[in-house]
Chain A
Amino acid sequence: MSTSAPAPRKSRSSRTPALRKTPTGISGLDEVTGGGLPAGRPSLVCGSAGSGKTLLAMEFLARGAAQFAEPGVFIAFEERAEELATNFASLGFDLDALVKQKLLIVDYVRVEPSEMLEAGEYDLDGLFIRLGHAIDSIGAKRVALDTIETLFSGLQNAVVLRAELRRLFGWLKTKGVTAVVTAERGEDSLTRYGLEEYVADCVILLDNRVEGQTATRRLRIVKYRGSSHGTNEYPFLIDEGGISILPQTALWMTYKVSSKRVSTGVARLDAMMGGRGYYRGSSVLVSGLAGTGKTSLAAHFACVAAERGERCVWFAFEESADQIVRDSRSIGIDLAPAMKSGLLLVRAVPPAAFGLEMHLVTMCKLVNEFAPESVILDPISNFSVVGTVFEVKAMLTRLVGFLKSRQITALFTNLNIGGAAPDTTATAVSSLMDTWLLLEEIVSGAERNRIVQLLKSRGMAHSNQVREFLITDQGVELRDVYVGPSGELLAGSALMVQRAREEAQAIVAAQDADALKRELDLRRQAVEAQITELRAAFEIEEARARRAAGQAAAVSAALTHGRDQMAEHRQADAESTDDAALPGPGGSR
């Protein structure tokens, strides 16, 4: 890139208003650093053994060469050039090809304490010349020094060495190269030999922690002078594609929202949501006890997505892909064609395979690669084996943000534990969700029946009705639920019995009504005669009755007010006209 040409002068004149950055090309790192590493300056990458320092350094160079046409020099103090080439080939980088194209030079600096007898004063000009020659011979814009503190084991004169390292980092700036310097993590300091003193611009810490029984790699920008940067620990993954860092999308609250809808796959469920289904890009929680039909709803959703020609990733934390296909087929949903056509990807992941962070990174990576319109996680409750409710929620918050930022509709199922109060995971994560479907079971007679209700659905008019949820061999069907005589929900065959009973009662009632009507006609005639007779007497009493009625109305109006208002009322009265307060009701205080 032509951007790095004026680097040396600029970096020497200390502060320039806008810090130029060199993109690393490493998945996620440029987001976290707001564009890459400080251009023309050295950055320090520290971490314990096996934390991925060398890979980060090498990937910085390999991607710089391959993606940004910036040649690079890799000075290896630890691994031999051939070992490096082998390691990187396994990560998909052909170092030899890059070397042949003059985009990369790898130099192994051998530091053998036994071969380094010191007899007098020296400096590290040999290293400078070596590095300078390599930089100049290919016009390198990037440099990696891995791990330069190895020199401390080879050279005894630490005073000289420190002075030389300080000079080296200054010299790198004058060369205008963007450098990655790796260093071993120290016990009390960032690096064992305090290299952070010399590299003041950008310090990145890599970490590989074991929590519980799972290891998670994390990256943190400890310092980035003159630039804003994410301050969190970002989990990252090393796999056959190199490093992928998952940014905790700080922008996740600013994503675009869609007003488009996607079908749930169940017509009556769509109907409960104004006839149109979920919002595209929304998050849906389907929670319920075991066997209430969560996975069936997910299958509908996946199936209808494929019918629209959309891609869907199904993360299965409980079942294999085969089992999902088989079980779905038993209820009339055939997922096999969608899988065959590549629209549906079922990824079965044992929840305990790795930590939550790793799950998150793995899922996000697959989502990035597969670019689905929808994602299913079935069930998220299984994450409880690798994290607390709080941790699971934190992870899902980020996943939801990630998916929303890509307008991916997500369906999460959650297995509720029977007997427990409203399930903790579901409750905890429900606030993240735009739509919450609760599947329940009711037992009546000797059978269990499923009911579904839409507990919430943000941004849309939705039904507050409870529906019976039937799993038939044609898939899920919803039906109206009947409320029994004493207010309980009825479903299933109890429902049918109840419906028959109600029909019978309706006929009886209609017949009764006819008879009653005839009887009433007769009685009306008799009554009307009496009425004429009574009217005269009635009119005499009417005047008095009207007065009494007026009083009674005042009392009953007062009574229909709330208690507080009553109290106020009484007090007000008490103040104005002592005992003219209301008679009776609140006598005792």
Chain B
Amino acid sequence: MSATSKRTAPEAAPPQGEERWFLRLYVAGQTPKSVAAFDNLKRICEERLQGRHTIEVIDLLKKPRLAKDDQILAIPTLVRRLPPPVRRIIGDLSETERVLVGLDLRPREQ
């Protein structure tokens, strides 16, 4: 786990090439919280992952079955599917520090 976080440290680009990030954001319609979560996620990813990421937004109102299949309880929920291990963060991602910790993106110097 700690190895992963070292590899994804933003300052030095990983020597072995670009690690792809695959993130899923579960929302339920265009609620303020959902919109805020997407905006916050997009900003963090652009700052830290510089295009190495894919964000998939899943609207559970359209695909309610996935709530059960993907064990979603709170909305919004962010799931980091890649790189492993799977990480989950709930909330509108307004607390950037916590998001970074949750995604193992926290800068080393802090």
A116 touches B88 (CB 8 A): yes
Residues of B with C-beta under 8 A to A117: 87-90, 98, 101-102
B71 touches A109 (CB 8 A): yes
Closest to B78 in A: A119
Residues of A with C-beta under 8 A to B37: 120
Identify the stretch in A88-96, A128-136, A189-197, A476-484 within 8 Å (CB) of chain B at 4 or more residues.
A128-136
A419 at the interface (CB under 8 A from B): no
Residues of B with C-beta under 8 A to A129: 28, 60-61, 64, 67, 72, 75
A115 touches B73 (CB 8 A): no
A126 touches B102 (CB 8 A): no
A117-B88, A130-B67 known; A123+B102 contact, CB < 8 A = no
User: Closest CB-CB distance, A111 to chain B, in whole Å?
Assistant: 7
B108 at the interface (CB under 8 A from A): no
B93 touches A119 (CB 8 A): yes
Q: Give the CA-CA distance A260 to B108 in the complex, in Å.
A: 93
A319 at the interface (CB under 8 A from B): no
Closest to B72 in A: A126
Residues of B with C-beta under 8 A to A107: 68
User: Closest CB-CB distance, B27 to chain A, in whole Å?
Assistant: 9
A119-B102, A133-B65, A134-B68 known; A126+B73 contact, CB < 8 A = yes
B98 touches A121 (CB 8 A): no
Q: Give the CA-CA distance A120 to B92 in the complex, in Å.
A: 5
B33 at the interface (CB under 8 A from A): yes
A125 touches B90 (CB 8 A): no
Closest to A105 in B: B68
Q: Which of A122-175 contact B (CB under 8 A)?
A: 122-127, 129-130, 132-134, 151, 154-155
Q: Give the CA-CA distance A219 to B71 in the complex, in Å.
A: 34
A116-B88, A130-B64, A130-B67 known; A122+B76 contact, CB < 8 A = yes
Q: Give the CA-CA distance A155 to B89 in the complex, in Å.
A: 11
User: Closest CB-CB distance, A74 to chain B, in whole Å?
Assistant: 12
B99 at the interface (CB under 8 A from A): yes
User: Closest CB-CB distance, A147 to chain B, in whole Å?
Assistant: 15
Q: Choose among A110, A119, A123 the residue that contacts B71 (Cβ–Cβ < 8 A).
A: A110
Q: Which of B71-110 contact A (CB under 8 A)?
A: 71-77, 87-96, 98-99, 101-102
A107-B68, A129-B28, A134-B68 known; A121+B91 contact, CB < 8 A = yes
A126 touches B89 (CB 8 A): no
Residues of B with C-beta under 8 A to A539: none
Closest to A133 in B: B64
B36 at the interface (CB under 8 A from A): yes
Q: A120-B95, A130-B68 are in contact. List 7 more A-B contacts (CB 8 A).
A: A107-B68, A117-B87, A122-B74, A122-B91, A122-B92, A129-B28, A133-B65
Q: 21 A–B contact pairs at CB < 8 A? A: A111-B73, A116-B74, A118-B98, A119-B94, A120-B36, A120-B37, A120-B92, A120-B98, A122-B75, A122-B91, A123-B33, A124-B75, A125-B60, A126-B60, A126-B72, A126-B75, A129-B28, A129-B60, A129-B75, A130-B67, A130-B72
Q: Lowest 9 A-B CB distances belong to which pairs?
A: A120-B91, A133-B64, A120-B92, A126-B72, A125-B75, A119-B98, A120-B94, A130-B67, A125-B28
